[in-house]
Amino acid sequence: MRRRSLTGPILLVLIGVGFLIYNVRPDIPLFDLLAQYWPFLLVLWGLLRLLEVLVEYFRGGVQRSSFSGGEVVLILFLCFIGWGAFEAHSHGVHFRPAWEAFGEHYDYNVGDQKPAGSATRVVFENNRGNLRIIGADTTDIRINGKKTIQALNQADADRANDGTPLEIVTQGDQIIVRTNQDHNPTNGKISEDLEITIPNRMSVEAHGNYGDYDVTELNGSVELYGDRADVRLNKIGGNSRVELGRSELVRAVDLKGNLDLQGRGSDIELENIAGQVTINGSYSGTLEFKKLAKPLHFESPNTDLRVEALPGQISMDLGEFTANNLVGPIRLITKSKDVKIEDFTQPLQLETERGDIDLQPNRLPLAKIEARSRTGQISLVLPDKAVFQLVATTDHGDAVNDFGPSIQKETDGRSASLKGNVGEGPSIHLVTERGTVSVRKAGAEPENTNKAEM
């Protein structure tokens, strides 16, 4: 007779342990943890079944272990719930058991003030809530804000409020501002929105999980860490470092120092940054960069971009990259984007897997251009007096020469190419595997393009 599986009892034990943890240590965010770590339940489940089979095998018999219908349903159920939970979790939704969603919000005013003395750095520890930090010509640290506590009744809310005092502590050359939300004696959610004025000579470091940061007019450096946060930086003198789990918006304007940004999220807006900009992460929204004086390095799973300086602007989203007025060397490697670059100097290296390329250097002298698309058309517009050595090829497609007789078209089966040397210039190399390549003079209309595509 077949033994019954261990899975059922073990599942029961796990559920029991879960509820026990929840009851004894309400401060552990069990539901958030589950949203992230649930796949290991599947692994554990599989390992148990594997173990059962192996034990049976070494005892001599071999038991079949196709899952019962109930188990399959349970696994599928777990996958759907778990996936949904994780997606919701990473979009900032938080799981509280239904019975905690009841209750009301109680508001308390919080505030404190303390001389900064000789401290050079303020460290904020606010788990949940928005921070607005303003540098000013002052010697004090002044905090004003509102604490919102979710509780079933006023007494619970008061208890939560008493257990989580706002503290300003001096430690060496640091001043630490703590909201102590982790000391909450109740289960209710606490959130604090604070407006803080600090001497503008100071540096800021902030840690939190859920809440936005807004930092304005500081001469020191800024370091912001958050799980789920939007960030706005304005007029910062020192270097800025921002590490976020997920954001809807990161905006930085008028920075004198470097900006180092890491995380996942949606939109980024950068304008007028004097220092180096390094962005590492994955962003699904619209990215706008304007007036970056030093090198920009953007790296995401789909795109690698390096530009020496950006007097103009770059705008990109998941499907499109548009830029004008760039200083190279420029390097852009991307998966599927239509790329349009105007007004650039210095060498350009460009690769896109799927997408059209449209290049208009517009400036002389030209530099080396190397552009490659796997599927997509490439169009190049050259200034009238440009000197260059051009090789443009397509494996499946047409080649269109609107530049003039100095460029020759060659066709071979389904492939076509344009070749031409005009003076002693840098090499221009355009390659597409599938699509039209066309070269024309600035000012001339692309008259042949439509005909060529027919």
Partner 1 sequence: MNVNEANLLRAIRWPLTLITLGVLFALNNFTPYRFHQTWPVLLIVFGVLSLLGRSVGGARPAGGTGGPQ
Q: Which of residues 19, 28, 57, 77 is near partner 1 by CB under 8 A? A: 57
Is 65 among the residues that bind partner 1 (CB under 8 A)?
A: yes
Report the residue number, 45 or 388, with the smaller CB distance to partner 1: 45
Lookup: tokens for 443: 């000012």
Per the CB < 8 A criterion, the answer to whether 392 and 382 are in contact is no
Give how many residues touch partner 1 by CB under 8 A.
31
Is 86 among the residues that bind partner 1 (CB under 8 A)?
A: yes
Please report, for residues 264, 392, 446, the alpha-carbon distance to residue 370 in angstroms, rounded to integers and kept in the order given: 30, 10, 22
Task: Name residue, tokens 């173990």.
Answer: 51
Q: Which stretch binds partner 1 (CB under 8 A): 62-70, 196-204, 211-219, 359-367?
A: 62-70
Q: How far is CA 288 from the centre of its chain?
A: 13
Is 53 among the residues that bind partner 1 (CB under 8 A)?
A: yes
Q: Which of residues 16, 46, 165, 365 is near partner 1 by CB under 8 A? A: 46
Is 64 among the residues that bind partner 1 (CB under 8 A)?
A: yes
Report the residue number, 13 or 47, with the smaller CB distance to partner 1: 47
Lookup: tokens for 386: 């440009």
CB of 298 to partner 1, least distance (A): 15
Is 37 among the residues that bind partner 1 (CB under 8 A)?
A: yes
Strands 213-218 and 222-228: unpaired
Is 50 among the residues that bind partner 1 (CB under 8 A)?
A: yes
Q: Which of residues 13, 16, 27, 40 is near partner 1 by CB under 8 A? A: 40
Is 36 among the residues that bind partner 1 (CB under 8 A)?
A: yes
Q: Which of residues 6, 13, 42, 73 is near partner 1 by CB under 8 A? A: 42
CB of 60 to partner 1, least distance (A): 9
Contacts of 71 (CB under 8 A, 6+ apart): 5, 7
Task: Using alpha carbons, select from 311, 314, 237, 337 the residue that is nearest to residue 268.
Answer: 314
Q: Which of residues 28, 79, 155, 364 is near partner 1 by CB under 8 A? A: 79
Enclosing H/E stretch for 114: strand 104-115
Is 282 among the residues that bind partner 1 (CB under 8 A)?
A: yes
**3-state secondary structure at position 398:** coil
Q: Which stretch binds partner 1 (CB under 8 A): 74-82, 179-187, 192-200, 227-235?
A: 74-82
Residues linked to residue 411 through DSSP beta bridges, in sequence order: 416
Report the residue number, 318 or 387, with the smaller CB distance to partner 1: 318
Task: Name residue, tokens 């619209």.
Answer: 286
Is 83 among the residues that bind partner 1 (CB under 8 A)?
A: yes
Lookup: tokens for 259: 């900006």
- DSSP state letter for 5: P
Calpha distance 57→383 (Å, rounded) = 77
Terminal Cα distance for the chain, rounded? 73
Q: Which of residues 32, 49, 138, 322 is near partner 1 by CB under 8 A? A: 49
Query: What size, in residues, is the chain?
Result: 454
Q: Which of residues 11, 30, 34, 41 is near partner 1 by CB under 8 A? A: 41
- DSSP state letter for 181: G
Q: Which stretch binds partner 1 (CB under 8 A): 42-50, 267-275, 349-357, 408-416?
A: 42-50
Lookup: tokens for 92: 């900032």
- For partner 1, the binding residues in 106-135 under the rule CB under 8 A are none
Rg (CA), the chain: 30
Q: Which of residues 47, 169, 364, 442 is near partner 1 by CB under 8 A? A: 47
Calpha distance 259→67 (Å, rounded) = 53
CB of 35 to partner 1, least distance (A): 8
Q: Which stretch binds partner 1 (CB under 8 A): 65-73, 99-107, 143-151, 394-402?
A: 65-73
Lookup: tokens for 52: 């059962």
Site residues (CB under 8 A) for partner 1? 36-50, 53-54, 57, 62-67, 75, 79, 82-83, 86, 282, 301
